[in-house]
């Protein structure tokens, strides 16, 4: 049970760090001066994953996180270079995977929010949103009063 707890703890760490890296890099690369500098000829796509990997390596090696060691060896064993390198790759890859999950699967992107806001505004201004319209037939109305 202790091993499962350690594995889950490190998986949560991996997910949280991945999201933090992705959000930080998105903020950084959305800054106009950086975007203007890096966007020429598809360079932005080539640079961002490498920065995510370097950031992941720095964090994983600083905290000595080795998910593979935790999963396959006895508790208390030291982190390995290969395990930390693979964990770094998982964190860097998961950052891109997490943003894809949030944008495409959950629809939590800026474009999705704006489209949802436009739909709400369109619904509030449409005639069907003004409530039911009572039509009278004869002198008693539709309710037979």
In the predicted model, what is the mean pLDDT of residues 35-49? 69
Q: What is the 3-state secondary structure (H, E, C) of 71-88?
A: HHCCCCCCCCHHHHHHHH
pTM of the model: 0.60
Grouping H, G, I as helix, E, B as strand and the rest as coil, residue 132 is: coil
**Is residue 140 scored above 80 in pLDDT?**
no
Is 84 within a domain?
A: yes
Q: How many domains is the chain built from?
A: 1
Tokens of 115: 């489209």
pLDDT digits (tens, 9 = 90+) for 82-128: 999 999 998 988 866 766 766 676 676 667 677 778 888 888 865 55
Q: Is residue 124 part of a domain?
A: no
Tell me the residue range of the domain where 10 lies. Answer: 2-110
Q: Is residue 53 part of a domain?
A: yes
pLDDT digits (tens, 9 = 90+) for 54-69: 999 999 999 988 888 8
Query: Is 118 a member of any domain?
Result: no
Q: Is 64 among the domain residues?
A: yes
Average pLDDT over residues 124-136: 57
Residue 99 lies in a domain: yes
**105 within domain boundaries:** yes
Neighbouring CB atoms inside 10 A of 22's CB total: 21
């Amino acid at each position: 049970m202790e091993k499962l707890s350690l594995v889950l703890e490190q998986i949560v760490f991996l997910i949280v760090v991945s999201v933090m890296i992705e959000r930080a890099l998105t903020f950084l690369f959305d800054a106009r001066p950086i975007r203007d500098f890096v966007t020429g000829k598809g360079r932005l796509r080539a640079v961002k994953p490498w920065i995510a990997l370097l950031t992941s390596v720095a964090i994983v090696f600083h905290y000595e996180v080795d998910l593979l060691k935790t999963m396959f060896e006895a508790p208390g064993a030291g982190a390995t270079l290969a395990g930390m390198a693979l964990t770094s790759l998982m964190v860097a890859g998961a950052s891109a995977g997490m943003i894809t999950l949030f944008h495409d699967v959950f629809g939590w992107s800026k474009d999705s929010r704006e489209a949802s806001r436009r739909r709400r505004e369109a619904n509030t201004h449409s005639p069907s949103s003004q409530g039911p319209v009572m039509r009278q037939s004869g002198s008693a109305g539709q309710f037979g009063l």
